[in-house]
């Protein structure tokens, strides 16, 4: 269950040098420094105001580069593709992926939180339901969370208003593929059941993650990502590689050229920053100097 949060993570007090969200990237031939900031999709925008060096990072860079171009998500083409990928194959229904007891239990949680009968969702992939439930749970239990105000979108909009460039490290379509096609339907169903079968524990874990992010505690975020319960809710071989490590390594191949062309503020999920295969360590391995900014 603990690791389920990491699988869903598509993941304000200055502490130690290993507990920061904003980092300066310099050296290795860069004429001007770039910066990287870790976000949490369910965080309040106010976290940015608690980082004294954030205005410096924004002023010293000429572009903002996110995981994706958030404007792509606003296009009709993206909406159509998203809708298509959320749907089950015509020969499969949601109910067929669960036992009758599991389906009834999930149906109760869906009714209580989404205010619809689960039969109305019969053609949706389990991951689509998991995402909607996760958002609703955060709305209920996370003060200050507003799904219409996200850090990733905010920084790209600010850049555009200031006449700066924006870019993405991957395409919106690639994120759709990871979300809805990166796991079998049965695996998606198993993770949905993990979410609803122990809601109290799920909420406790989400609060721990939110608290770690507010404290800018990357070490605790990494610890949460690495915890295991020894059951089917733990990640399968290759799942974390697809969601985190593999994407980190792909980004690292692109970042040097982006930083050489323009000093850049990278804005990516905080879970991508820490660890041996995290972006910060991969940048160090390439010869860059990484400095925590308070």
Q: Look up the pTM and report it.
A: 0.89
* Beta-strand relationship, 63-66 and 264-269: parallel
Beta bridge partners, 35, equal: 24, 265
Q: Residue 36: its pLDDT value, please?
A: 98
Q: Residue 142: its pLDDT value, please?
A: 74
| 67: region left, alpha or beta (phi > 0 left; psi from -120 to 50 alpha) | alpha
Residue-by-residue pLDDT tens, the chain, 294 positions = 444 444 444 332 223 334 489 999 999 999 999 999 999 888 888 899 999 999 999 999 999 999 999 998 888 988 899 999 999 999 999 999 999 999 999 999 999 999 999 999 999 999 999 999 988 888 887 777 777 788 999 999 999 999 999 999 999 888 888 889 989 999 999 999 999 998 888 888 888 888 899 899 999 999 988 888 889 999 988 888 888 999 999 999 999 999 999 999 999 999 999 999 999 999 999 999 999 998
For 280, phi and psi rounded to 5 degrees?
Answer: -60, -50
Whole-angstrom CA distances from 191 to 8, 195, 242, 249, 263 are 9, 6, 16, 26, 40
Q: Residue 2: its pLDDT value, please?
A: 40
Q: Residue 290: its pLDDT value, please?
A: 97
Distance between CA atoms of residues 248 and 255, nearest Å: 10
Contact criterion met (CB below 8 Å) for 39 and 267: yes
Q: Which residues contact 189 (CB under 8 A, 6 or more apart)?
A: 94, 97, 98, 126
Q: Residue 135: its pLDDT value, please?
A: 86
DSSP 151-205: HHHHHHHHHHHTT-EEEESS-HHHHHHHHHHSS-HHHHHHHHHHHHHTHHHHHHH
Q: Residue 103: its pLDDT value, please?
A: 97
């Amino acid at each position: 269950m603990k690791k389920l949060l990491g699988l869903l993570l598509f993941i304000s007090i200055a502490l130690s040098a290993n507990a920061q969200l904003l980092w300066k990237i310099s050296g290795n031939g860069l004429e001007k420094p770039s910066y990287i900031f870790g976000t949490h999709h369910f965080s309040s925008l106010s976290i940015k105001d608690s980082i004294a060096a954030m205005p410096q990072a924004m002023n010293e860079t000429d572009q903002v580069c996110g995981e994706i171009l958030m404007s792509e998500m606003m296009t009709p083409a993206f909406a159509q593709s998203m809708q298509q990928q959320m749907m089950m194959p015509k020969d499969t229904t949601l109910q067929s992926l669960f036992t009758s007891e599991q389906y009834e239990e999930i149906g109760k949680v869906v009714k209580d939180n989404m205010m619809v009968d689960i039969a109305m969702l019969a053609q949706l992939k389990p991951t689509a339901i998991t995402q909607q439930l996760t958002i609703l749970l955060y709305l209920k239990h996370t003060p200050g969370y507003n799904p219409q105000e996200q850090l990733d979108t905010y920084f790209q909009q600010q850049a555009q208003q200031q006449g700066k460039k924006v870019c993405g490290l991957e395409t919106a379509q690639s994120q759709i593929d990871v979300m809805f096609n990166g796991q079998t339907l049965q695996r998606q169903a198993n993770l949905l059941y993990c979410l609803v079968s122990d809601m109290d524990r799920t909420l406790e874990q989400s609060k721990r993650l939110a608290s770690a992010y507010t404290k800018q505690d990357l070490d605790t975020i990494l610890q949460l990502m690495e915890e295991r319960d020894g059951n089917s809710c733990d990640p399968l071989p290759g799942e974390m590689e697809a969601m985190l490590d593999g994407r980190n390594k792909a980004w690292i191949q692109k970042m040097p050229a982006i930083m050489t062309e323009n000093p850049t503020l990278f804005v990516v999920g905080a879970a991508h920053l820490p660890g041996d295969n995290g972006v910060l360590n991969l940048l160090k391995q390439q010869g860059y100097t990484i400095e925590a900014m308070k």
